[in-house]
């Protein structure tokens, strides 16, 4: 290694910029431009607008406080009984108090019904609804939606907890722009200290959610209101018929709202903590499910967004295109790049691989720096910095392989319809009608 270093440096000094770009075209064109240059430009604009944003925020907050509308917090799920009490307690700490709490039990086979009924009886839950026959997450959310009385609906996952002002902060953006139809909360990893797996996800969440969504939201192409924490206008949800069959229903509903002509906003101050899978096996299963939904919804179901029809909107197009391009197309392009490097630079392959690792590592630190700048939990998140070098393998290799596998499975075999996450009765119908 020591002998290799001078040779490695000598190679890069003599290679020149032109050849550098030729060898690392994939990194320079796609990764560096999108995740460093664009991010920092937008972050800079975001920073420049901070004063104006603060003014708008304060006015909107004032409006919210004056109107103080009833909101409906809905929590659909199966076998979530153990989390419900903690969640209810966490919600009772919220600064925003005027809410009704609707918990939907989607055919749980554990003690959830007993827990839920007791909480309802004791007034800790406004409404506990149980569907004896499991219908899937979408039907559970739609059950709650049917009985919501609030002006806004906040959709939560039962295993999440929230900053004291999270609900208030997810509502305020609705008063900043009346065209905002949905607001996504900032989901962070609570159990980042559990394992390497959860630590790497914590970094990934910071990059893709906390920072990534600020960027896409600022650009107007924000595409997914996380199911773990998101706010919606009730009338919009009702007009689009609520959620469709998943998996990936949170991304799907966001697109549906966009297509209805509303803006989607990401609110970094509305913070929610969730437990990420702490084993790679579990994580792989989760990501396969998530990644399949890109093909199912963004490529297949909502393909009309790409077509020049009467409803065509550039932002909707870009929103989905950016997502599909940077995930699906670049996965294929990455394979082309690997083949290109192997064929054309086989003599200096060792230097190319090393340089690639170096570049991605540097980018990981640059991105982490932006997450650090935006974060409100800087001190805690400092613990994550020591595993940053591993992010090259995690997102550059592991996630890419999982993603590619999911795309192939979904594109050629429509495997998402066989996912036990949904009951067969719903999946078979969704498959038949191409949802």
Partner 1 sequence: MFKLHQLNTAKSKRYQELQFLTIESINEYDSEKAHAHDAIILNIKNALEAEESINLIRQQTSVSDYLKPIFISKESLNRQLRTRSYDGFTDAVNLQAIAQTTRKINERISKVYRTKTINDYKQQQLFKVLAFTFTRNIHLDPYTSRYSKLGYSYPFLDALIEEEHSQEILEIVELGLREELFSGKINDKIHLCTSCSSSYINIRETCPKCHSIDITEKDLIHHFRCAHIAPMEDFQKEDNLTCPKCDHKLRHIGIDYDKPSVMYNCNTCHHEFQEPEMKSYCIDCHKEDEIHHLVEKKIYEFSLTPKGDEVVKYGLEKLINSNEEIPKDVLSCSFFKLMLQQEIERATNHDITSFHLKMNINKNQVPQMTESTEVGFKKEIISIIKGYLLSSDLITAVSAYEYQILLTNTDIHKANELTGLITNNLNKLITDNLSEQNETIWSELKPIQQGLKMA
The values of phi and psi at residue 271, to 5°, are -100, 135
Distances (CA, A) of 420 to 75, 82, 254, 283: 20, 22, 23, 16
Q: Candidates 139, 201, 254, 293: give the one binding partner 1 (CB under 8 A).
A: 139
Q: Which is nearer to partner 1, 63 or 130 (CB)?
A: 130
Beta bridge partners of 293: none
Binding-residue total with partner 1 (CB under 8 A): 32
Least Cβ distance, residue 229 to partner 1 (angstroms): 21
Q: Which is nearer to partner 1, 139 or 323 (CB)?
A: 139
DSSP 247: S
Helix (H/G/I), strand (E/B), else coil: 86: helix
C-alpha–C-alpha distance, residues 291 and 269, integer Å: 27
Question: Does residue 217 bind partner 1 (CB under 8 A)?
Answer: no
Instruction: Check the CA dihedral 273-274-276-277 and report its sign.
Output: positive
Binding mask 237-256 for partner 1 (x = CB under 8 A): ----xxxxx-----------
Q: Candidates 77, 81, 135, 227: give the one binding partner 1 (CB under 8 A).
A: 135
Question: Does residue 430 bind partner 1 (CB under 8 A)?
Answer: yes
C-alpha–C-alpha distance, residues 101 and 84, integer Å: 11
Question: Does residue 412 bind partner 1 (CB under 8 A)?
Answer: no
Question: Does residue 63 bind partner 1 (CB under 8 A)?
Answer: no
Residue (of 141, 410, 102, 175) closest to 253 by Cα position: 141
- What strands lie across the sheet with 152-156, from one edge to the other? 127-131, 99-106, 71-77, 152-156, 229-233, 180-189, 263-274, 161-162
DSSP string across 366-421: HHHHHHHHH-S-HHHHGGGGGGGGGHHHIIIIIHHHHHHHHHHHHHHH-GGGG-TT
Binding mask 142-171 for partner 1 (x = CB under 8 A): xx--xx------------------------
Question: Does residue 425 bind partner 1 (CB under 8 A)?
Answer: yes
Q: Which is nearer to partner 1, 109 or 132 (CB)?
A: 132
Q: Candidates 133, 309, 346, 386: give the one binding partner 1 (CB under 8 A).
A: 133
Question: Does residue 300 bind partner 1 (CB under 8 A)?
Answer: no
Least Cβ distance, residue 432 to partner 1 (angstroms): 8
Question: Does residue 429 bind partner 1 (CB under 8 A)?
Answer: yes
Record the tokens describing residue 264, joined without a space: 């989607």
Least Cβ distance, residue 168 to partner 1 (angstroms): 27
Question: Does residue 70 bind partner 1 (CB under 8 A)?
Answer: no
Q: Candidates 132, 343, 346, 420: give the one binding partner 1 (CB under 8 A).
A: 132
Q: Considering only residues 79-118, where is the footprint of partner 1 by CB under 8 A? A: 107, 117
85, with CB counted inside 10 A (0-12, 13-18, 19+), is middle
Least Cβ distance, residue 383 to partner 1 (angstroms): 41
Q: Candidates 63, 100, 120, 190: give the one binding partner 1 (CB under 8 A).
A: 120
- Pair type for strands 127-131 and 99-106: parallel
Record the tokens describing residue 175, joined without a space: 């008063």
For binding to partner 1 (CB under 8 A), which residues are involved? 107, 117, 120, 127-136, 138-139, 142-143, 146-147, 241-245, 425-426, 428-430, 432-433, 435
């Amino acid at each position: 290694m020591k002998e290799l270093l001078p040779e490695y440096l000598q190679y890069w000094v003599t290679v020149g910029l032109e050849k550098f770009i030729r060898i690392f075209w994939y990194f320079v064109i796609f990764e560096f431009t999108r995740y460093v240059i664009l991010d920092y430009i937008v972050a800079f604009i975001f920073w420049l607008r901070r004063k104006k944003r603060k003014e708008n925020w304060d006015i909107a907050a004032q409006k919210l406080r004056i109107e103080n509308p009833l909101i409906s917090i809905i929590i659909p799920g199966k076998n979530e009984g153990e989390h419900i009490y903690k969640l209810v307690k966490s919600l009772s700490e919220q600064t925003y108090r005027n809410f009704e709490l609707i918990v939907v039990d989607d055919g749980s086979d554990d003690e959830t019904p007993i827990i839920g009924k007791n909480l309802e009886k004791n007034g800790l839950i406004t409404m506990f609804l149980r569907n004896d026959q499991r219908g899937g997450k979408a039907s559970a959310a739609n059950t709650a939606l049917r009985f919501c009385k609030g002006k806004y609906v906040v959709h939560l996952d039962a295993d999440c907890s929230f900053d004291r002002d999270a609900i208030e902060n997810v509502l305020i953006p609705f008063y900043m722009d009346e065209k905002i139809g949905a607001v996504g909360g900032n989901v962070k990893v609570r159990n980042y200290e559990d394992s390497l797996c959860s630590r790497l996800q914590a970094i990934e969440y910071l990059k893709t959610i906390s920072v990534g969504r600020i960027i896409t939201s600022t650009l107007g192409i924000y595409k997914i209101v996380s199911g773990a924490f998101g706010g919606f206008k009730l009338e919009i949800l009702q007009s689009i018929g609520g959620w469709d069959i998943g998996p990936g229903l949170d991304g799907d509903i966001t697109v549906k709202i966009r297509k209805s002509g509303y803006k989607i906003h990401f609110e970094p101050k509305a913070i929610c903590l969730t437990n990420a899978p702490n084993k790679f096996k579990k994580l792989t299963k989760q990501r396969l499910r998530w990644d399949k939904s890109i093909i199912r919804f963004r490529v297949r179901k909502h393909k009309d967004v790409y077509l020049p029809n009467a409803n065509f909107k550039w932002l909707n197009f870009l929103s989905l295109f950016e997502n599909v391009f940077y995930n699906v197309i670049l996965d294929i392009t990455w394979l082309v790049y690997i083949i290109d490097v192997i064929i054309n630079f086989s003599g200096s392959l060792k230097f190319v691989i090393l340089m690639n690792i170096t570049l991605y590592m540097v980018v990981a630190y640059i991105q982490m720096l932006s997450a650090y700048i935006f974060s409100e939990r800087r001190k805690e998140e400092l613990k994550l910095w020591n595993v940053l070098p591993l992010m090259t393998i995690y997102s550059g290799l592991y996630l890419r392989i999982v993603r590619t596998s999911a795309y192939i499975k979904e594109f050629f075999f429509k495997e998402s319809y066989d996912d036990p996450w949904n009951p067969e009765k719903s999946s078979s119908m969704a498959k038949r009608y191409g949802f």
